[in-house]
Amino acid sequence: MTPSRADLLDPSALAALGNLELVARWVVDGFLTGLHRSPRKGFSVEFAEHRPYQPGDDLRYLDWRIAARADRWVVKQFEEETNTRAMLVLDVSASMRWTGAATRLTKLAYAEQMLGALALLLLRQRDAVGLVRADDSLRSVVPPTTRTGQWFRMAAALASPGPGGGSDLVPALAQAVHLLRRPGFLVLVSDLLVDPEPVIEQLRTIRARGHEVLVLHVLDPVERDFADGAEALFTDPESDDAMPATPSEIRADYQETVQRALASWRSSVLQVGARYALAMTDEPYGMAMRALVRASGRGGMPIA
């Protein structure tokens, strides 16, 4: 049975139906339809503006006078909803451009579609959002704002081709936190095939400045499970180092190593007060976005 919500469709099938803008809007609409409201209650007393009603909004904040007079459904938005700043940091290194099956998206394509939806979701509720793309150097920097056209600037950056070199996330994280200026949210999306220590130290510094940090660890199922097969030559996409191996002989050790690495990343991220979630590229975008919401702290991520 085909899911009625686009955010629950197979990512590759959904991506094949349209461009980034169309996919992002479908994912956001489906996500909002199925979202359980945040446990945070109430708004600040300072009214800011109206915004269009979205499925799932609390009916208490509908402006019934405008609905009656102009037949338009709008929600009263207060200052508490308008002052969040978020930076999205995307790893565009060579390892992110890999997929374990021709029928699946690469890790990068999956991350781009999901971040496009997340950016649109934040902008719809008037949160300032920006983007940093990086491999071993900065490739794109879009400062956070709520100005008209911001999502299209971010979509253009997400769609930009990049060299896809090695991975160095520390400068990207430093640039992102510099643009936040005051306490906000930082979302890092990467396959985390990097030296953990400098990244964890940078996350510790960011948390010490009062920012909320969410790490989304993107993996292809083959990277986790290591499918059986004949002897093959395995090549590192970033260093070009190659090693012949027979999967059946190393599969058990490989899987154990991967599980240790995942547990280590999760533990290290949580220890510095950041949040961690795992996203597999064969899972619907809605699952990854819900993982971000569940992983957030201090009353939940400021979406929906």
- pLDDT surpassing 80 at residue 239: no
Question: Do residue 89 and residue 74 come from a single domain?
Answer: no
- The reply to whether 40 falls in a domain is no
User: CA separation (Å) from 215 to 16, 232, 242, 267?
Assistant: 27, 33, 29, 12
Question: Do residue 229 and residue 254 come from a single domain?
Answer: yes
Question: Do residue 172 and residue 102 come from a single domain?
Answer: yes
- The reply to whether 302 falls in a domain is no
Query: pLDDT higher for 172 or 240?
Result: 172
Whether the CB-CB separation of 242 and 234 falls below 8 Å is answered with: yes
Measured over the CA atoms of residue 13, residue 14, residue 16 and residue 17, the dihedral's sign is positive
- The reply to whether 301 falls in a domain is no
Give the pLDDT mean for 249-270.
88
- The reply to whether 303 falls in a domain is no
Lowest average pLDDT, out of 45-49, 81-85, 156-160, goes to 45-49
- The residue segments making up the domain with residue 70 are 47-79
pLDDT of residue 83: 56
Question: Do residue 61 and residue 156 come from a single domain?
Answer: no
- pLDDT surpassing 60 at residue 36: no
- The reply to whether 112 falls in a domain is yes
pTM exceeds cut of 0.85:
no
Total domains in the chain come to 2
Question: Do residue 59 and residue 129 come from a single domain?
Answer: no
- The reply to whether 121 falls in a domain is yes
Query: pLDDT higher for 79 or 261?
Result: 261
Lowest average pLDDT, out of 13-22, 31-40, 111-120, 246-255, goes to 31-40
Question: Do residue 51 and residue 185 come from a single domain?
Answer: no
Whether the CB-CB separation of 91 and 110 falls below 8 Å is answered with: no
Question: Do residue 109 and residue 222 come from a single domain?
Answer: yes
Question: Do residue 140 and residue 161 come from a single domain?
Answer: yes
User: Predicted confidence band at 52 (pLDDT cuts at 50, 70, 90)?
Assistant: confident
- The reply to whether 57 falls in a domain is yes
User: Predicted confidence band at 230 (pLDDT cuts at 50, 70, 90)?
Assistant: low
pLDDT of residue 29: 85
User: Predicted confidence band at 72 (pLDDT cuts at 50, 70, 90)?
Assistant: confident
User: For residue 17, what is the domain's CATH number?
Assistant: 3.40.50.410
- pLDDT surpassing 70 at residue 15: yes
* Boundary (domain end) residue, out of 79, 96, 131: 79
pLDDT tens, position by position, 96-152: 999 989 999 999 999 999 999 999 988 888 889 999 999 999 999 999 998 889 999
- The reply to whether 157 falls in a domain is yes
Lowest average pLDDT, out of 198-207, 261-270, 295-304, goes to 295-304
Question: Do residue 152 and residue 247 come from a single domain?
Answer: yes
Question: Do residue 59 and residue 159 come from a single domain?
Answer: no
pLDDT of residue 118: 92
Tracing tokens 């094949």 back to the chain, one arrives at 16
Question: Do residue 159 and residue 248 come from a single domain?
Answer: yes
- pLDDT surpassing 50 at residue 89: yes
In the chain, what percentage of residues exceed pLDDT 70?
79
Give the pLDDT mean for 42-64.
65
pLDDT of residue 38: 43
Whether the CB-CB separation of 228 and 116 falls below 8 Å is answered with: no
Question: Do residue 53 and residue 135 come from a single domain?
Answer: no
Whether the CB-CB separation of 30 and 6 falls below 8 Å is answered with: yes
